[in-house]
A and B are shown apart, each in its own frame.
Chain A
Amino acid sequence: MKNRLRVLRAERNWSQMELGLRVGVSRQAINAIETGKYDPSLPLAMKIARLFEQSVEEVFQLEETD
């Protein structure tokens, strides 16, 4: 699954740590999501999308291989 987390975060000048604090996870979790090594749970994905005032589909997209 790919996502626009890094772009959305950069637009707001937030660090990974700052974003993590806002959604209640660690910096490592944000890094793993951004690099595609970890797919967040639905509640976390919704929390992230709500924070950026976007829908989940606008932040996270399925890839061909998913």
Chain B
Amino acid sequence: MAESKRDPGAVFLGQMLVATVLWATTFVLTKGEWAQHAEGLPLRLAVVLIGLAGFAPVVFVYVKSIRIQDEFNQRIHLVALAIAFASTAVISYALDLLHQSGFVPALPLTGLWAVMTAIWFVCMFATTRFYR
């Protein structure tokens, strides 16, 4: 009940900050020296699960933030996500072809969601300005 009296934007930013710190912590943990040389099934599985668990709060906060928005803002999100999805598909396909032809080295898959997030941010900014 107390949450409804707070600014929803500030609440979202606060929750996203906490979620990002949690994710960054698990990221550092799973990219550390011990994780790179983890041996045995339980330990290797733990590295994967810890890494994935770190992402859960970010996804939860993001989905929750969209659910509480009105239909218009949800539409803006949908348009931005659709553009980001299509752009990422084209970029990943182009990079794959470039790699196959020897123009670029193999790139890490985790870079793809960073590209998608960046495009999504740009689209959100552009559509928000358009409808302002």
Contact = CB atoms under 8 A, between A and B. Distances in A.
Contacts, number: 31
B132 A29 contact: no
A33 B132 CA distance: 11
Interface string B94-132: 000000000000000000000000000000000010111
Interface stretch (B29-37, B45-53, B67-75, B83-91): B67-75
A43 B130 CA distance: 24
A48 B129 CA distance: 25
Contact of B73 (A26, A31, A37): A26
Chain B interface size, as a band, is 10 to 19
Nearest to A43: B71
Nearest to B130: A37
A25 B131 contact: no
Contacts of B75: 38
Contacts of B130: 37
A37 B72 CA distance: 11
